[in-house]
């Protein structure tokens, strides 16, 4: 069962590295009108979000026993990815909250009929971290 622990550890590391208190301060730079929509730090954050979303879609969702719920989550995560790619973190956050409610509708931490409790717990952790990263 190292795989779910590895995912959880990676998610915690990703969350911890996002708010590094000892990192050198980033200077605000003005970008030319023709420059990309994201700044360098925003592009890095978007890249981290994208890799985490891909991880959820490719490694965690296939582990769920409830195929209908897995398909709904896949659809939501595809929409989250599209929102992140479009720079709309507010929409991504709204969709992630919907995904969280689908995984844990009672907010009691039980896995229900979704599958292995450890896999569902890792999925819940990843969704929580993604939602926190997209909160404004």
Tokens of 35: 């420059």
Identify which of 59, 61, 29 has the alpha carbon closest to the alpha carbon of residue 43. Answer: 29
Q: What is the pLDDT of residues 30-61, one digit of tens each?
A: 444 433 344 434 555 677 888 899 999 999 99
Burial 49-62 (b: 16+ CB within 10 A, else e): beebbebbbebbbe
pLDDT of residue 37: 41
H runs (alpha helix) in the chain: 2-18, 40-55, 67-85, 89-103, 117-134
**Reported confidence tier of residue 123, pLDDT bands at 50, 70, 90:** very high
pTM, two decimal places: 0.65
Are 78 and 48 within 8 A, CB to CB? Answer: no
């Amino acid at each position: 069962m190292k795989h779910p622990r590895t995912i959880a550890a990676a998610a915690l590391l990703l969350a911890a590295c996002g708010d590094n208190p000892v990192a050198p301060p980033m200077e605000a730079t003005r970008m030319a009108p023709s420059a990309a929509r994201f700044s360098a730090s925003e592009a890095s954050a978007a890249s981290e979000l994208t890799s985490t979303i891909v991880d959820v879609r490719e490694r965690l969702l296939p582990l769920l026993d409830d195929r209908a719920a897995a398909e709904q989550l896949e659809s939501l995560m595809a929409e989250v990815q599209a929102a992140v790619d479009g720079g709309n973190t507010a929409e991504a956050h709204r969709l992630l909250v919907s995904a969280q409610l689908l995984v844990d509708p009672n907010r009691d931490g039980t896995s229900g009929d979704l599958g292995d409790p450890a896999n569902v717990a890792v999925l819940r952790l990843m969704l929580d971290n993604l939602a926190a990263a997209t909160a404004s």
